[in-house]
Structure 1
């Protein structure tokens, strides 16, 4: 059974996490079975299809009555394995073991320990103190795992769950009834398997910590959303996030040409001819620049060059306007979501509908470059000199006032 997630439902304003799989339901009138979605949720609610809500006990009744089945009734029956010990296949899934699996999935969604979690805790307990009492607890925890999932519980497709099957079998008894007779050496080897596994896991975690040493720590910041807005009476005097948008009036020079906004620069640079370039650059507003540039013939290489050009224009804008650079830096490390309706989806975010948000991504890149420049030796020296000059000027002013 493959559980698919994430899914959820809203109940009393709360989001309840869920997962789903496919089962077979019997049509009451036609007496035929058809596939149906079985949804389970963190609060224990179970839904067959869209409307038939029940719980674990109700699902058990559905399975017992034959109204719901785990497999198609006319599905091919596989022959029984000749030896349980030598078999590489899981045990057959039954209604009882599936109900245990559903209960496990509900516990996992609710953030509670699953049968697999409790089994691993029993393994660690037995490894710390290899007593018969702890081995009995290990056996109980192993048998609590749904039977058809036990071969997967260790995540080892070579050994499967054989080390556990050996450990939970008493000395002198045959594993699975048809396997080897368990000896103390076999118990010792099985314990060594878990010791080696713990060592390998610790080594892998250490290597991952080194590889991911620069991964951001802590909870991520909520995104900064740059909405498309209009100001009929002119831009506000107090700068805000609107100044990060491409239509904000902030003249800058890029490769020897001066543009009123990033939008002017982008559409002018996209034009194949010089006359069109100059007409776009001379447009009164960013909207007019876009409309003029959109009608002009495009450079042949524009598809491959436009990201580099946009990045260069944004760098020029914020390099030449320190106040705007401060607005950009004030967004911290938050994702920048560039929205609106005027730009193509390539440049903006469209929420559930898509959009590649390249403007937002390039703003994050420029922000990172601005922050990195602050930590260069030259920048630190200049900052120190500025602070010293500021202190000297303050002292001179105080003395002159005296």
Structure 2
């Protein structure tokens, strides 16, 4: 069964993670089976279009009564018998039954809830046996293996060639035929299986160490919740005490950029985007950031704007916070938290839209400038970075002078 996701539902204001797969539901009026979505959630709720909410016991009843089916009955009747092969030789998984499907659904619910699945527990039992290969741990491993839904056992080790055969060999008692019709289990066979799992454990450890390298500089501890920089309207003017609202681009914080004074980042961004120097000056003279954005909407953009706008916005933010140390303190006070820029005035390229998307570049660039301010406080800003910034500013000033008629 293929599970799809992520999905979720809201219950009493709480976000409940879920996943879904396809099943067949008997349509009473048409007297036939139609494909439906079966949703399962981390709290154990199960729903299927037209069948109402249920739990595992309810799902079992729906399968037993034929209201839900994994395959339409006529498809099972037409299915040809596979060629006769011994159970040991076959490379196909066990047939999926209602019982094994219910075990799979229970495992999916555990996974969504952040709990170990039967496959997780079996892999842990493999590692435990590898560390200390006693008869007691072998029996525990057998129980863990048999707890995995039968039709999924063949995929348990992720080995396309051997599949789960090393497990089946190891879990068969000495002198017994593996799977009832395979080779007789011997000491040598058990040793080979144990060597396989020893190599597997060492490989897992190598992968774990290699994966740890890219994350070696991640901050320790639990992730910091994001800081939301929301859009707000203040009819009586901006509050006197600086807060997160000062991080927004429409906040009145004049600064100098490329030799010109701009009242807000919004004024500067949209004025600099204009292809016509006259449009630049009209936008710059707008009474409010909102009016500047409205004026810019009807003007032509510079040809290079899509490729340069992120760099320009980053420099405008640097200029703003360099000019206003109190605002820089507000930005630094957000610590290591992700900054989520929320609103309706900017395009999704700049803002976060939650589950609907949004690229949140305004928030990302604020995090970049915050990191630079933090590095400057620590005396870790490279001299080369300062020189590069100065060179880029000088180049841009010359270009701006030519573009905007000496602006």
TM tier, shorter chain?
0.7 to 0.9
Q: CA deviation at 1:316?
A: 0.9
Could you give the per-residue CA deviations for residues 298-329 of structure 1, whole angstroms, max 9, x where no partner exists? 22222222222111111111112211111111
CA distance in 2, matches of 1:130, 1:53: 45
Give 2:218's aligned residue: 215
Q: Could you say if the C-alpha distance between residues 2 and 78 of structure 1 is closer, same or farther in structure 2, counting changes exceeding 3 Å?
A: farther
Q: Could you say if the C-alpha distance between residues 84 and 339 of structure 1 is closer, same or farther in structure 2, counting changes exceeding 3 Å?
A: same
Q: CA deviation at 1:10?
A: 4.3
CA distance in 1, matches of 2:287, 2:337: 33
SS of the residue corresponding to residue 237 of structure 2 reads coil
Q: Could you say if the C-alpha distance between residues 90 and 234 of structure 1 is closer, same or farther in structure 2, counting changes exceeding 3 Å?
A: same
CA distance in 2, matches of 1:193, 1:164: 10
CA distance in 1, matches of 2:266, 2:11: 45
Q: Is the CA contact (8 Å cut-off) linking 2:127 and 2:201 kept in structure 1?
A: no
1:319 and 2:322 equivalent? yes
Give 1:242's aligned residue: 245
In structure 2, which of residues 364, 368, 372 is the aligned counterpart of residue 365 of structure 1? 368
Could you give the per-residue CA deviations for residues 239-269 of structure 1, whole angstroms, max 9, x where no partner exists? 1111111122222111122211111111211
Q: Could you say if the C-alpha distance between residues 10 and 309 of structure 1 is closer, same or farther in structure 2, counting changes exceeding 3 Å?
A: closer
1:23 and 2:5 equivalent? no
Q: CA deviation at 1:15?
A: 4.5
Give 1:80's aligned residue: 82
Q: CA deviation at 1:51?
A: 4.7
CA distance in 2, matches of 1:315, 1:77: 68
Q: Could you say if the C-alpha distance between residues 371 and 50 of structure 1 is closer, same or farther in structure 2, counting changes exceeding 3 Å?
A: farther
Could you give the per-residue CA deviations for residues 89-132 of structure 1, whole angstroms, max 9, x where no partner exists? 21111122212222323333344443223323432343344333
Q: CA deviation at 1:367?
A: 1.1
Give 2:236's aligned residue: 233
1:21-60 to structure 2, matched below 5 A, reads 21-49=21-49, 51-60=51-60
Give 2:186's aligned residue: 183
Name the Cα RMSD after superposition: 2.4
Q: Could you say if the C-alpha distance between residues 370 and 78 of structure 1 is closer, same or farther in structure 2, counting changes exceeding 3 Å?
A: farther
CA distance in 1, matches of 2:380, 2:111: 51
SS of the residue corresponding to residue 337 of structure 1 reads strand
After TM superposition, the score normalised by the length of structure 1 is 0.86
Give 1:130's aligned residue: 133
1:71-110 to structure 2, matched below 5 A, reads 71-75=71-75, 77-81=79-83, 82-110=85-113
1:119 and 2:131 equivalent? no
Q: Which has the larger radius of gyration?
A: 1
Q: Is the CA contact (8 Å cut-off) linking 2:372 and 2:381 kept in structure 1?
A: no
Give 2:287's aligned residue: 284
Structure 1 stretch 282-291 or stretch 145-154: which is displaced more?
282-291
CA distance in 1, matches of 2:43, 2:281: 64
CA distance in 2, matches of 1:202, 1:6: 29
Q: CA deviation at 1:146?
A: 1.4
Q: Could you say if the C-alpha distance between residues 67 and 350 of structure 1 is closer, same or farther in structure 2, counting changes exceeding 3 Å?
A: closer
Q: Could you say if the C-alpha distance between residues 227 and 115 of structure 1 is closer, same or farther in structure 2, counting changes exceeding 3 Å?
A: closer
Give 2:351's aligned residue: 348
CA distance in 2, matches of 1:50, 1:219: 41
CA distance in 1, matches of 2:278, 2:330: 35
CA distance in 2, matches of 1:363, 1:304: 19
Gaps of 5+ in 1: 380-402
Q: Is the CA contact (8 Å cut-off) linking 2:37 and 2:49 kept in structure 1?
A: yes
1:201 and 2:229 equivalent? no
Q: Could you say if the C-alpha distance between residues 124 and 287 of structure 1 is closer, same or farther in structure 2, counting changes exceeding 3 Å?
A: closer
SS of the residue corresponding to residue 258 of structure 1 reads strand
CA distance in 2, matches of 1:298, 1:122: 63
Could you give the per-residue CA deviations for residues 136-157 of structure 1, whole angstroms, max 9, x where no partner exists? 3322322222110101112222
